[in-house]
Amino acid sequence: MDSGAVAQALEDARFDARQDSRHEDLAEDVHGRAELAEWERIEQLLADAAPDTVYDPDADDVVQAELAADAAADAAAREAEQREAARIAARADELQALRELGTLEQTEPREGDEAARDELTRRAGSYVQKDVDAWLAHALAAHLGHYRDPDAREAAADLHPTHLLAHAALLTELAHLAPGAGVDQLAFAARLSAADPEATGDLAAFLARARPGADPIGLTAAADIG
C-alpha cells in the first residue's frame, strides 16, 4: 500500500470510530479502536520512512512479531493438546489393565478419569463400558477419589452420560436405605439405569425427597435426569 491508500484507510477508520461513538452499544468497541490505532501507526511508519516508500507487512517488525507470537501460541496449544491426549490414553491403558486384573473396583478415580472413560468407549466403537461406568457411578455415589470434592461431583453432571448419573444417584439413596450393602447386592441399579435412565433418576429423586438431609449434589443430579 502506498501512502495515499494508507491515508484513505485511516480516514475510513476515523469515520467508523465517529459513527460508533454515536451509538452506546458500539462506543466501547475494542476492535474498532484497535483498527484505528493500527492505521495511525502505519501512517506514522510511512511518514518516518523515505519518500515514496510503500507499506509492506512483510517488512513491518510489529506485524511480524505479532505473527510470530500467534504462531508460538498455536504451537504451544497444539503441544498442550498432544500432552493431554497422551495423558488420557495412558490413563485409559491403566484402567484397561486394572479391569483385566479384576482390581478396578479397588481403585479410586482421579481427576480426568471422565475423559479416560470416554477414550475407552471410543476404542470400543462407542460400546458402553459397563464395568467402568459402574465403577465410576459407585465412586461418585460414595465420594471416592477426586469425587470427595463437591465441585468435582457437581462438574460430573456435565462430564458423564445420563445413565451413569442416574446410576450414581440411585446408589446414593440405596446406601441410606440399606447401609453396608455390597456392590454386588446393588448390581440391579446399573441394569435399571441402563434400561431407563429417566425413570431411575425419578426414583432416586423420590427417595431423596423422602429422607431428611439429602445430599444436595445427588438430589440435583437426580432431578436433572428426571
Mean pLDDT value of segment 177-192: 90
Average confidence score pLDDT of the chain: 89
Is residue 117 within 8 A of residue 104, CB to CB? The reply is: no
Which range is most confident: 25-29, 54-58, 86-90? 86-90
C-alpha angle 52-54-60 in degrees, rounded to nearest 5: 135
| Per-residue pLDDT tens digits for 14-33 | 888 888 777 766 556 678 78
| Per-residue pLDDT tens digits for 120-154 | 999 999 898 999 999 999 999 999 999 999 999 99
Mean pLDDT value of segment 74-94: 97
Q: What is the DSSP string of 79-139?
A: HHHHHHHHHHHHHHHHHHHHHHHT-GGGSPP-TTHHHHHHHHHHHTTT---HHHHHHHHHH
Task: Report the alpha-carbon distance of residue 132 to residue 95 in Å, rounded.
Answer: 8
List the grid coordinates of 39.
492505521
List the grid coordinates of 151.
465441585
Q: Which of 52-56, 74-78, 87-91, 213-217 has the lowest mean pLDDT?
A: 213-217
- What is the reported pLDDT for 206? 93
- What is the reported pLDDT for 182? 83
The single-letter code of the amino acid at 1 is M
Give percent above pLDDT 90 in the chain: 68
Mean pLDDT value of segment 102-124: 95
Q: Where do the structural domains in the chain lie, given as residue ranges?
A: 3-55, 67-225
- What is the reported pLDDT for 220? 47
Is residue 224 within 8 A of residue 201, CB to CB? The reply is: yes
What is the pTM for the complete model shown?
0.70
List the grid coordinates of 60.
513491518
CA-based nearest residue to 140, from 127, 123, 159, 126: 159
The sign of the torsion formed by the CA atoms of 11, 15, 17, 21 equals positive
- What is the reported pLDDT for 26? 58
The single-letter code of the amino acid at 50 is A
- What is the reported pLDDT for 226? 46
User: For residue 209, what pLDDT band results from cuts at 50, 70 and 90?
Assistant: confident
Task: Report the alpha-carbon distance of residue 40 to residue 61 in Å, rounded.
Answer: 16
List the grid coordinates of 63.
506485524
Q: In this model, does residue 213 exceed pLDDT 50?
A: yes
User: For residue 106, what pLDDT band results from cuts at 50, 70 and 90?
Assistant: very high
Q: In this model, does residue 161 exceed pLDDT 90?
A: yes
